C-alpha cells in the first residue's frame, strides 16, 4: 500500500487509513482539470469483468487507485451492489483505504469507485466477500491403507475429497506442512495424488481444503504404514580376511525385483540384473578396512529402488603387529622394530615414524621386516604400519611405541 507523508493511523466505521486523512461529509474544493483515478485494485488484484474474491485470511481489504490528481484528496465510495442506497464513503490524502472485514457482510458483492477531489469518478470495481472456510477434507488410499502397504520406491495413490464442502476447489498437502496445491476435479470434488515413499514404517500426509476465495480449512492428518521391502542378503564365507572373495546372494521380500544395486563400503554402486526368480548372485572382494559391509537396494519394474539394507562382511582387516626391542630409550638413540604381517599375501609394509613421509619396505619370507629408527622427540614416539598385497589389498593399521627419556 502506498503511504502518504502525514497524518495518523485512523480507524472509523470499519475504515482504516494509513498515514492519511479522513473527512466525512466535508466538501472538497473544486480542482481544475482533475482526471478520473485509474488502475483500481482490491488487495493488489486488478479489477476486471468479474468481482474479485475477498477471503478471511486477512482482517481487512485494501482498495487502491492511481489518483487523477496526486495533490487532491481521494474519495472512496463502496456499497452492496443490490443496495446502492447503503453507500459508505471515505476521503483520504492517500491513494488507498483499508476496509475492515468486520464492517462487511459475508457472501455479499460490493461495488466501489474513487475520485480525486471533485473530479470524475473512476470505473466501478466489484468484490465479493467469502469469510467462511471450507470443511476439512477426507483422505483415503487404496495402495497405502493405515494397516500397511506398498514399500519404499513404490508409488501409491492418495485420494483427497471435499467431504461435502460444496465450495472446495482444491487441496494443499505435504508430509508435515500442506504446501503443495492440487486442483479438485470439480468444485466440491476430489483429487488423486501419487506419493512414492522413501522410507518404511509409519508416515503421515497432512491435507487442507481450499475454496475459490483462498480460504483454507483445518488440517486432516492421514497416517499410513509403508511396508519394509528391503532385500535379503547372505554372503559366503560369513567372515574372512581383506582380499578374500565373498559370494553374496540377493533375494526379494515383498516386491518382485528386476535387478539390484549394491556397493561395498563407500565404493561405486554396481547394478546387476535379477534372474527369473527375482534373485541375483555376485562375487565381491573387500580390499581395505573401509570395505566392511555391503549395501543393497532392489530395483523395481518402474526403475525405482527399494529401501537399502546393509550387511556386514565379517571382515578381518589383518592388522600387523609391532615388536620394539625396548620400551624406553634415550633421546637421539636408535631403536629396532620388528614388523609382523598378518594379512595373507602381504608383500609390503608401509610405515610412518615421527611425522615423516610414509616408507615402504618388503615383507620377508618369514612375514616380517626389521627397521632401525632414531627417537628424536622427548616423551613418546609412535610407529604406524599397515601391509599391502600384490593384488592391491591393504590391511588395517598397527602401532608400536617407545617412551623417550
3-state secondary structure of 69: coil
Spatial CA neighbour of 111 closest among 89, 127, 91, 122:
127
CB 259 within 8 A of CB 271: yes
Domain presence at residue 173? yes
3-state secondary structure of 381: strand
Domain presence at residue 164? yes
Residues 6+ apart with CB under 8 A from 1: 18, 62, 64, 94, 96, 98
Domain presence at residue 154? yes
pLDDT tens-digit map of 202-243: 999 999 999 999 999 999 999 999 999 999 999 999 999 999
User: Is the confidence at residue 120, as pLDDT, over 50?
Assistant: yes
pLDDT tens-digit map of 346-397: 999 999 998 899 999 999 999 999 999 999 888 889 999 999 999 999 999 9
pTM of the model: 0.72
Residues 6+ apart with CB under 8 A from 106: 129, 130, 131, 132
User: Is the confidence at residue 314, as pLDDT, over 60?
Assistant: yes
CB 156 within 8 A of CB 197: yes
* Amino acid 33: pLDDT: 52
- Give percent of the chain with pLDDT exceeding 90: 85
pLDDT tens-digit map of 168-187: 999 999 999 999 999 999 99
The helix, strand and coil proportions of the chain, stated in percent and rounded to the nearest 5, come to 0, 50, 50
CB 96 within 8 A of CB 66: no
User: Is the confidence at residue 270, as pLDDT, over 60?
Assistant: yes
- Final residue before a domain boundary, out of 108, 129, 150: 129
pLDDT tens-digit map of 10-57: 333 344 443 333 333 323 334 445 799 999 999 999 999 999 999 999
User: Is the confidence at residue 8, as pLDDT, over 50?
Assistant: no
Shared domain check, 91 and 163: no
Residue 167's pLDDT band (cuts 50, 70, 90): very high
CATH of the domain at 166: 2.60.40.10
- Final residue before a domain boundary, out of 226, 260, 293: 226
* Amino acid 272: pLDDT: 97
Shared domain check, 290 and 390: no
Cα–Cα distance measured from residue 333 to residue 335, given in angstroms and rounded to the nearest whole number: 7
Q: How many residues make up the chain in this entry?
A: 405
Spatial CA neighbour of 212 closest among 165, 179, 271:
165
Domain extent at residue 371: 321-404
* Amino acid 5: pLDDT: 28
Number of domains in the chain: 4
Shared domain check, 124 and 37: yes
From first CA to last CA, the distance across the chain in angstroms is 81
Domain presence at residue 292? yes
Residues 6+ apart with CB under 8 A from 402: 324, 326, 327, 328, 329, 335, 375, 380, 381
Residue 96's pLDDT band (cuts 50, 70, 90): very high
CATH of the domain at 307: 2.60.40.1930
Amino acid at each position: 500500500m502506498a503511504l502518504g507523508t502525514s497524518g495518523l493511523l485512523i480507524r472509523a466505521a470499519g475504515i482504516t487509513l494509513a498515514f492519511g486523512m479522513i473527512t466525512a461529509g466535508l466538501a472538497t474544493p473544486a480542482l481544475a482539470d482533475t482526471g478520473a483515478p485509474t488502475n483500481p485494485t482490491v488487495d493488489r488484484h486488478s479489477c476486471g469483468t468479474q468481482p474479485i474474491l475477498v477471503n478471511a485470511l486477512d482482517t481487512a481489504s485494501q482498495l487502491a487507485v492511481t489518483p487523477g490528481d496526486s495533490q487532491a484528496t481521494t474519495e472512496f465510495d463502496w456499497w452492496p451492489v443490490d443496495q446502492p442506497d447503503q453507500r459508505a464513503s471515505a476521503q483520504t490524502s492517500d491513494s488507498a483505504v483499508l476496509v475492515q472485514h468486520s464492517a462487511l457482510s459475508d457472501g455479499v458483492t460490493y461495488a466501489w469507485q474513487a475520485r480525486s477531489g471533485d473530479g470524475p469518478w473512476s470505473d466501478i470495481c466489484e468484490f465479493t466477500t467469502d469469510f467462511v472456510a471450507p470443511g476439512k477434507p477426507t483422505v483415503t488410499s487404496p495402495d497405502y491403507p493405515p494397516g500397511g502397504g506398498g514399500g519404499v520406491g513404490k508409488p501409491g495413490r492418495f485420494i483427497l475429497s471435499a467431504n461435502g464442502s460444496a465450495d472446495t476447489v482444491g487441496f494443499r498437502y505435504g508430509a508435515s506442512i500442506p504446501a503443495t496445491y492440487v486442483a479438485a476435479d470439480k468444485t466440491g470434488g476430489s483429487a488423486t495424488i501419487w506419493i512414492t515413499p522413501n522410507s518404511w514404517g509409519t508416515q503421515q500426509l497432512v491435507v487442507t481444503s481450499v475454496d475459490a476465495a483462498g480460504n483454507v480449512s483445518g488440517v486432516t492428518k492421514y497416517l499410513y504404514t509403508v511396508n519394509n521391502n528391503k532385500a535379503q542378503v547372505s554372503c559366503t564365507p560369513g567372515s574372512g580376511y581383506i582380499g578374500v572373495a565373498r559370494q553374496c546372494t540377493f533375494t526379494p521380500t515383498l516386491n518382485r525385483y528386476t535387478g539390484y544395486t549394491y556397493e561395498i563400503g563407500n565404493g561405486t554402486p554396481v547394478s546387476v540384473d535379477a534372474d527369473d526368480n527375482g534373485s541375483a548372485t555376485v562375487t565381491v572382494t573387500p580390499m581395505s578396512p573401509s570395505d566392511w559391509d555391503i549395501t543393497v537396494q532392489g530395483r523395481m519394474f518402474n526403475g525405482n529402488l527399494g529401501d537399502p539394507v546393509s550387511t556386514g562382511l565379517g571382515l578381518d582387516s589383518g592388522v600387523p603387529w609391532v615388536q620394539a626391542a625396548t620400551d624406553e630409550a634415550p633421546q637421539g638413540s636408535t631403536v629396532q622394530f620388528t614388523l609382523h604381517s598378518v594379512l595373507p599375501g602381504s608383500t609390503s609394509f608401509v610405515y610412518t615414524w615421527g611425522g615423516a613421509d610414509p616408507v615402504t619396505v618388503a615383507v620377508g619370507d618369514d612375514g616380517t621386516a626389521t627397521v632401525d629408527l632414531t627417537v628424536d622427540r622427548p616423551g613418546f614416539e609412535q610407529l604406524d604400519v599397515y601391509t599391502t598385497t600384490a593384488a592391491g589389498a591393504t590391511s588395517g593399521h598397527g602401532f608400536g611405541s617407545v617412551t623417550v627419556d
